[in-house]
Amino acid sequence: MGKLFHLLTDLALDPKKQSIFINNPRFLMDEVGLSQAEQTAIMSKEDAKVAAFFAHEIVQPAVTTSDPGPDPLPDPDPFPLPDPDPSPSDPLKEP
């Protein structure tokens, strides 16, 4: 992935970079080395223009085609919890 992807990821995760971008987007885009076309796409605020830079990227989806098998470390079932409010007709409850 390119510089644009890394910048967008940083903007999503780093509050300091978000602040810099809000105050001076051109400075930050120049600092990370975005092309003029990438900068124009971001400044346009149009999703389709920004997404077009990722159109050539092939993302390998994670697909499971079969059952992965039993859990190697199965978690034991918890003990049954007692009924917090037994009904009046409960045979275990003393009259």
pLDDT along the chain (95 residues), means of 10: 86 92 92 92 89 76 71 70 66 56
Q: What's CA 87's distance to the chain center, in Å?
A: 45
Q: How many CB atoms lie within 10 A of CB 45?
A: 8
pLDDT at 87: 66
Segment (H or E) for 79: none
Residue 84 lies in a domain: no
Look at the chain and report how many structural domains it folds into.
1
Domain that holds residue 42: 3-54
- The answer to whether residue 79 sits within a structural domain is no
Question: Considering the domain boundaries, does residue 72 fall inside one?
Answer: no
Q: What are phi and psi for residue 36, nearest 5 degrees?
A: -60, -40
- Asked, for residue 95, whether it belongs to a domain, the answer is no
Using CA atoms, how far apart are residues 54 and 85, in angstroms rounded to an integer?
57
Tell me if 42 is assigned to some domain.
yes
